[in-house]
Amino acid sequence: MKTIAILGKPNVGKSSLFNRLIKQQLAITSNVSGTTRDVKKARFELSGVEVEIIDTGGLEKAQGLFAKVSEHSLQAAQEADLVLYMVDGSMMPQDDDIAHFRKIQKSGKMLILVVNKVDNDKIKLRAWDFASFGTESLCFISVQHNRGISILLEEIFEMLHLASEQPLSAHLRGELAGEIDESLEEFLASIESPMQSQQECIAVGIIGRVNVGKSSILNALLGKERSVVSEVAGTTIDPVDDEVQIEDKTLRFVDTAGIRRASKIYGIEKFALERTNRVLAQSHIAILVLDVSAPFVELDEKISSLIPKHRLGVIVVFNKWDKKYADFKQIKADFDKRFAFLSFAPTMSLSALNGRNIHKLKQEVLKVYERFCYRIPTSALNDCIAQATARHQIPSDHGKLVKIYYATQYASKPPQIALVSNRPQSLHFSYKRYLINMLRKQFDFEGVPILLSAKDKNAPKDETTRE
């Protein structure tokens, strides 16, 4: 697959172009310089050919955090097949832009100079000054007004020689429109079907407070420096994701923005919180990162409440173990007291800096996902429920007998079980919790929420209990 990297100084519209091309509001855009800090990747189709587009942080002379941002951006450019170097067409050409552009040009990389914010013909006349960059591949666009985008896409298509990569169906449908018989259509569908039946990618969101080490854990899991790591709290704004192959499974890890107390959220961080929720809504498992260099705080508990909200499998990581404030027994006791609703979650100590237990964490993700997808055989499920009700009888409803006729698992990811009863409203939540604990004990659902719904024999389910 061909890759395209968007480079340029801060605030020239790189993230806006990225969002325009993928037709999603995936990257955060704002007038604040330095909004994009990590490399952001996505895929889109260009005339039937899938390509990968990479949004990068702004290139600028700086110390500390933004020096790392620039370094990651230049590295992304080196790995891409084509670089779109973006400049602000409402300004005069800048010497540092010319220097960056020619440095990339000398490396032999395919390069297009994209002059943005050319909102009208008057600005376009002035924008010809950018010919001083010394390139024939020059495109004038306005992302905001959707001007020149189609011409830019044509230029990309030609430079990457994508015509040779168009799928058979695209060529045939273009050349034989209206002349393809049904059998050929079926043949084309059979060619494309393997792509549709690919194994599902396991989505894992990494969540926690600011500066607990989420980005360091992502880098350790991937075995490369994918996310910018800095002591500056709130370094990660956009969710940063990448895929890794573990055994025969594809895992997509997403480093989300660190969450602060509501009163401490500033500027663009409010968009980061919104995107964290969006990432979790599309995830299967959450890795909750807790900093054990100091005792847990109330905000840790509030962040962990996102896990049951999105019905996720969960693994709890005690990070910064090399600086732990107490021994494991004390830390685990503190966790059990504060996070009783996550009593089913596996916990492990970890240090992203020295790689402690990183391999173990990868293996735990696979185990939790397997349980997350597990379907209990109906006979085994009903045997377990029957044993549970025999051991501890269902409380009556003001003297009226409450019965469970049978149980069935109607969905997985996570496991969802319906209890068919004569009085579904009378099954108390504490008794449902008892049944959930029995199911955990019988079928090993560590790290996975179990959802129980009570329904009348002749009616759809009417209530749901979840952990």
128 is in an annotated binding site: no
219 is in an annotated binding site: no
320 is in an annotated binding site: yes
255 is in an annotated binding site: yes
* 54/51 Cα distance (integer angstroms): 10
256 is in an annotated binding site: yes
12 is in an annotated binding site: yes
* 456/422 Cα distance (integer angstroms): 6
357 is in an annotated binding site: no
9 is in an annotated binding site: yes
104 is in an annotated binding site: no
- Pairing relation of β-strands 285-291 and 240-246? unpaired
116 is in an annotated binding site: yes
258 is in an annotated binding site: yes
Beta bridge partners of 404: 421
8 is in an annotated binding site: yes
* 29/393 Cα distance (integer angstroms): 58
14 is in an annotated binding site: yes
* 120/98 Cα distance (integer angstroms): 24
Could you tell me where the beta strands, DSSP code E, fall in 187-256? 202-207, 240-246, 249-255
Structure tokens of 103?
């440095």
47-71: b or e for each residue (b if 16 or more CB lie within 10 Å)?
Answer: ebbebebbbbbbbbeeeebbebbbe
- Pairing relation of β-strands 404-411 and 202-207? unpaired
241 is in an annotated binding site: no
57 is in an annotated binding site: yes
422 is in an annotated binding site: no
244 is in an annotated binding site: no
103 is in an annotated binding site: no
277 is in an annotated binding site: no
466 near 314, Cβ under 8 Å? no
441 is in an annotated binding site: no
109 is in an annotated binding site: no
249 is in an annotated binding site: no
433 is in an annotated binding site: no
260 is in an annotated binding site: no
CA dihedral defined by 339, 344, 348, 349, rounded to 10 degrees? 10
280 near 310, Cβ under 8 Å? yes
119 is in an annotated binding site: yes
Structure tokens of 219?
């880098």
Beta bridge partners of 243: 252
10 is in an annotated binding site: yes
Question: Considering only CA atoms, which of 351, 359, 316, 358 is closest in space to residue 335?
Answer: 316
Other beta carbons within 10 Å of 45: 11
246-265: b or e for each residue (b if 16 or more CB lie within 10 Å)?
Answer: eeebebbbbbbbbbbeeeee
Binding positions for GTP are 8-15, 55-59, 116-119, 208-215, 255-259, 319-322
Binding positions are 8-15, 55-59, 116-119, 208-215, 255-259, 319-322
